Amino acid sequence: MVRRRADTPPLKRLDAGSGEHCLVLLHGLGGTHRYWTCGPVPFELPAHRTALVDLLGFGQSPRPWIRYSVERHVAALHACLAGERSMTLVGHSLGAALALAYAARYPSVVRRLVLISLPNFGGAERAVSWFSRQRGGWVYTNMWATALACVLSRRVVGRLLPRLLPDIPREVAEDLVEHNMVSSTSSLWEVLYRHDLHAEAEAIAPILPVLMLHGAADLTAPLVGAQELAARHATWEMRVLGRVDHHPWLRAPHECLQHIEQWLSGIREQAPMNLAMQLEDARAAGLGAKVLP
């Protein structure tokens, strides 16, 4: 595993509330922790305290000029979440992919996963095929075009984004420039296009309950890819929100919380001994899950 450089400051983290479990909220590409706090209702769950994190390269977290691989992102998250022993990870888009990757490496501390708008393309070629059918999608599948669009958005039209994107909250539009060319472009290609989610999904399948929330009108992360992943695992549940795009939390926050609370109420807490036995079975089966001491 690639470790966070000793000279790199820690990720930006904000904590709120109190509870036995830690609710960790991970934003998507181009987002920050304000993605979760700009709406009409707070993202809170009973018996959970909340940790809002800016991912490596975004928001108020460090933005080093490095390759933003899955392992680097996970290592930075692991340093940020050190000391937590019972977490529910909620991720949107890029954050969902990283939540899945984190849970596969540290299943003994992650109790549940909520994956919102998880992009499961099945490889770079299928990502290109998907976006080629979308208006202007070629920008997102050409690395140099993506990098140029990032530079232009930050330096030319950054201050105008709230006016150009009136359908999203002002805070979200403002934060679309809170990254750099490398962190945005590299994270897009390394974590979303080139990374295979299936191996990590298989690693946690016998261990962790997973809820997937997806918009029926999502043109960024294909619904069929998310459904394909959910259908392969008995412990995964898929819920589709009608007429919602890539941003269920922004479009239907009350509905999102209702789905999550209903799902949580139906999950029985695993006894520590049962969890330990499942982890041991997973390791014996060669799933490769890494467990914290």
pLDDT per position as a tens digit, 229-286: 999 999 999 999 999 999 999 999 999 999 999 999 998 554 333 444 555 554 444 4
Question: CB of 203 within 8 A of CB of 287?
Answer: yes
Amino acid of residue 12: K
Q: How confident is the model at residue 89 (pLDDT cuts 50, 70, 90)?
A: very high
Q: How confident is the model at residue 59 (pLDDT cuts 50, 70, 90)?
A: very high
Strand order from edge to edge, sheet including 21-26: 13-16, 48-53, 21-26, 87-92, 110-116, 210-215, 236-241
Q: Tokens in use for 212?
A: 């997937």
Q: Please compute the mean of the pLDDT values over residues 72-80 and round it to a whole number.
A: 97
DSSP H or E segment with residue 100: helix 94-105
DSSP tag of 179: B
Q: With helix as H, strand as E and coil as C, how does 224-269 read?
A: HHHHHHHHCCCCEEEEEECCCCCCHHHHCHHHHHHHHHHHHHCCCC
Burial readout 55-77 (b: 16 or more C-beta within 10 A, e: otherwise): bbbbbebbbbebebbbebbbbbb
Question: CB of 78 within 8 A of CB of 52?
Answer: no
Q: Please compute the mean of the pLDDT values over residues 166-175 and round it to a whole number.
A: 94
Question: CB of 127 within 8 A of CB of 97?
Answer: no
Residue with tokens 């208006």: 135
Name the H helices within 106-222: 124-131, 143-155, 161-164, 170-174, 181-187, 198-204
pTM of the full structure: 0.88
**Whole-number pLDDT of residue 164:** 84
